[in-house]
Structure 1
Amino acid sequence: MPSQETVRKFVDVVVSGRHDEAIELFYAEDASMQENLGELRRGRDGLVERERQVMGMFKEIRTTCVEPFFIEGDRVAINWIFEFVQADGKTSKINEVAIQEWRGDKIVRERFYYDPGQMAA
């Protein structure tokens, strides 16, 4: 079960824009990630590489954690708002909820829930 302090440190790293570093620091080696009903991605190293690819597609990604986040045993729920700034300055926004399963102080499973229509708006 993660402590409030550990989850706070995770949130702080993500909000600072270091999404790839957050995966390196807080995800188990065998972690998995899934967006809505999309493909299940496995393995921390691959998750880090994919995150770096996504980050490279944008001039900036602004991240907000909608407080509070919730911890119940090994489960954590976080409401994120991501603003993706393209090279031309156009911005798109996604409001999503991440449900995480932790093993000690590492995330082993994470699933994101959001309306994909937000990307087109």
Structure 2
Amino acid sequence: MPSPDTLERFIAMVEANDHVQAVLDFYTEQSTMQENQGTPRVGREAHANNERRVMAKARDVRSRCVRPVLVNGDHVVIRWIFRFDWPDGTVTHMEELAWQRWAGERIAEETFFYDPAQMKPRPASEVPQA
């Protein structure tokens, strides 16, 4: 079960858009990460590499935790809002729920639930601010 301080440090790092470091600091070495019902990625390095790829594509990223964060023992649910500004001027606004199972102070398993239709970039004028 994560301590309240650990959970707050994790959220602050993601909100600061330091997604790669958040993975390195807060996930177990053999953690799994799954998008909706897709095939899980396995391993902290695979997660960090995926974050590096996504961040490298974006001109700007804004990440926000919508509270309250739900905690029940080793399980945590966080509602996130992300805004990705792409080099071509389009924007992706995405809301998701992250279901996490923690092993002590690190995330061992995470599944993201979101509507895949949100992934389509749209003109910035059509997208709410994150």
TM-score by length of 1: 0.96
CA-based RMSD: 0.9
Give the corresponding residue for 1:51.
51
Distance in structure 2 (CA, Å) of the matches to 1:62 and 1:97: 16
Distance in structure 1 (CA, Å) of the matches to 2:115 and 2:43: 25
Structure 1 runs of 4+ with >2 Å offset: none
Distance in structure 2 (CA, Å) of the matches to 1:51 and 1:45: 10
1:66-111 CA-partner distances (Å, limit 9, x unpaired): 0111110000000000101101332110100000000000000000
Summarize the alignment of residues 93-104 of structure 1 with structure 2, pairs less than 5 Å apart: 93-104=93-104
Distance in structure 2 (CA, Å) of the matches to 1:84 and 1:38: 22
Distance in structure 1 (CA, Å) of the matches to 2:63 and 2:10: 13
Distance in structure 1 (CA, Å) of the matches to 2:67 and 2:78: 8
Are 1:83 and 2:83 counterparts? yes
Distance in structure 1 (CA, Å) of the matches to 2:4 and 2:60: 28
Summarize the alignment of residues 66-77 of structure 1 with structure 2, pairs less than 5 Å apart: 66-77=66-77
- Unpaired runs of at least 5, structure 2: 123-130
One-letter code aligned to 1:10 = F
Distance in structure 1 (CA, Å) of the matches to 2:119 and 2:48: 22
One-letter code aligned to 2:7 = V
TM-score by length of 2: 0.90
Contact 1:32 1:110 in 2 (8 A): yes
Are 1:9 and 2:17 counterparts? no
- Unpaired runs of at least 5, structure 1: none
Aligned residues: 121
